[in-house]
């Protein structure tokens, strides 16, 4: 056999191996006393995917807990290094893999991390993750940059023409009517933006807006934390865990985790769980 033929056959075998690998994926099962949560991990966050799978396959997630639970927000667990007694300053971290197409819709799995003050690179905790619960949002609320709006509104209310708005704002604030105050700001958003020549909106796709309106989530975390997976079965279990009675966000009765991994074809995953893989261009 000539050298060229051997090289060609070797190249074809690599292509065949790659194709077979891409035809399969991993289904992660998180078993709790409330039942099972099944999830897939995203290919476009490879560092987080490979790290999670390695921890799961080694059994290191087993006997960790959902140790932080906030109903209407999220459930957080997977403290492998705390369980193993590693000092906090030695906990491994992962580089951020924040993607514009990955937002915090209900059922998304994201990596916990330390705050920007000590972690400006937004590096992820090497094991802890959270599953989003959240609430639903209307398009106007979702697409508003509230941080920018809050700053702009004080400048806007100094205008002579906005005496009434300033009075309404101060009254609602004094009465503690925060929902009404929010609605007041939203109703004035576009006028404030035009008057002060500011951008006070966030850019979401129509698909993302629809998902937040129908499923809900926690949009204020978007583009700040790495979203690396998605629940494909067992959202009701997430809700049950989120409803646990807590003391300081810690469930009074521990919710332990056992995590297993199963490799199966992507077609089977789509058929059994209704998950649709994105088309690779």
Does residue 116 share a domain with residue 31?
A: yes
Q: Which domain holds residue 168?
A: 144-196
Examine the domain organization and report whether 212 and 77 are in the same domain.
yes
Does a structural domain hold residue 276?
A: no
Residue pair 83/61 in contact (Cβ under 8 Å)? The answer is no
Q: Are residues 49 and 82 in the same domain?
A: yes
Looking at the structure, do residues 191 and 154 belong to the same domain, yes or no? yes
What is the per-residue pLDDT across 49-68, written as a single tens digit (0 to 9) for each?
A: 999 999 999 999 999 999 99
Same domain membership, residue 240 and residue 219: yes
Q: Is residue 46 in a domain?
A: yes
Q: Do 81 and 52 fall into the same domain? A: yes
One domain, residues 118 and 64: yes
Q: Could you tell me if 170 and 249 lie in one domain?
A: no
Place 8 in a pLDDT band, splitting at 50, 70 and 90.
very low
In a domain, residue 180? The reply is: yes
Q: Is residue 6 part of a domain?
A: no
Are residue 176 and residue 217 in the same domain, yes or no?
Answer: no
Q: What are the pLDDT digits (tens) for 143-184?
A: 999 889 999 999 999 999 999 999 999 999 999 999 999 999
Quote the tokens at residue 41. Answer: 């991990």
Looking at residue 129, its pLDDT comes to 98
CA distance 70 to 134: 9
Report yes or no on 277 lying in a domain: no
Top pLDDT among 268 and 1 is at 268
Kind and range of the H or E element at 183?
Answer: helix 178-196
Q: Is residue 82 in a domain?
A: yes
d(CA 267, CA 273) in angstroms, rounded, equals: 10
Question: Do 182 and 229 belong to one domain?
Answer: no
Nearest-angstrom CA–CA distance, 11 and 135: 50
Same domain, 149 and 128: no
Length of the chain: 281
pLDDT at 12 over 60: no
Q: How much is the pLDDT for 11?
A: 42
User: What would the mean pLDDT of 129-133 be, rounded to a whole number?
Assistant: 98
CATH of the domain at 35: 2.40.100.10
Could you give the number of structural domains in the chain?
2
- What does each C-alpha distance from 272 to 27, 83, 158, 232, 235 come to in angstroms? 11, 34, 58, 10, 15
Backbone φ and ψ for 123, nearest 5 degrees, come out as -65, 145
Round the average pLDDT of the chain to a whole number and report it.
91
State whether 87 and 150 are in the same domain: no
Whether 8 is covered by a domain: the verdict is no
pLDDT at 19 over 90: no
Asked if 235 and 107 touch (Cβ cutoff 8 Å), the reply is yes
pLDDT of the residue at 281: 53
55/49 Cα distance (integer angstroms): 10
Predicted local confidence at residue 280, as pLDDT: 64
Q: Does residue 213 carry a pLDDT above 70?
A: yes
Over residues 6-10, the mean pLDDT reads 39
Q: Could you report the per-residue pLDDT of 98-121, keeping only the tens digit for each? A: 999 999 999 999 999 999 999 999
Within-domain flag for 12: no
Q: Which pLDDT value is given to residue 278?
A: 84
Q: Per-residue pLDDT averaged across 18-43, rounded?
A: 89
Which pLDDT does position 279 carry in this prediction? 76
Sign of the CA dihedral with 59 first, then 60, 63, and 64 last:
negative
């Amino acid at each position: 056999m000539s050298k060229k033929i051997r090289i060609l056959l070797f190249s074809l075998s690599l292509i065949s191996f790659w194709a077979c690998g891409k035809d399969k994926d991993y289904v992660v099962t998180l078993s709790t006393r409330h039942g099972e949560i099944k999830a897939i991990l995203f290919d476009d966050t490879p560092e987080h995917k490979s790290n999670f799978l390695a921890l799961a396959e080694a059994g290191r997630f087993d006997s960790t807990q959902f140790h932080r639970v906030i109903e209407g927000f999220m459930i957080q667990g997977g403290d492998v290094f705390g369980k193993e007694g590693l000092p906090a300053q030695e906990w491994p971290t992962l580089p951020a893999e924040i993607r514009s197409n990955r937002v915090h819709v209900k059922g998304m799995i994201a990596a916990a991390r330390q705050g920007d003050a000590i972690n400006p690179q937004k590096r992820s905790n090497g094991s802890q993750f959270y599953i989003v619960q959240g609430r639903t949002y209307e398009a106007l609320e979702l697409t508003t940059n509230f941080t920018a709006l809050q700053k702009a509104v004080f400048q806007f209310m100094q205008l002579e023409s906005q005496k009434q708005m300033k009075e309404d704002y101060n009254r609602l604030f004094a009465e503690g009517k925060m929902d009404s105050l929010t609605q007041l700001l939203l109703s004035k958003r576009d006028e404030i933006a035009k008057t002060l020549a500011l951008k006070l909106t966030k850019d979401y796709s129509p698909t993302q807006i629809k998902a937040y309106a129908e499923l809900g989530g926690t949009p204020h975390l978007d583009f700040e934390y790495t979203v690396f997976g998605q629940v494909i079965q067992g959202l009701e279990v997430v809700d049950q865990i989120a409803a646990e009675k807590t003391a300081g966000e810690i469930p009074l009765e521990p919710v332990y985790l056992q995590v297993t991994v199963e490799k199966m074809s992507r077609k089977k995953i789509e058929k059994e769980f209704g998950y649709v893989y994105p088309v690779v261009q």
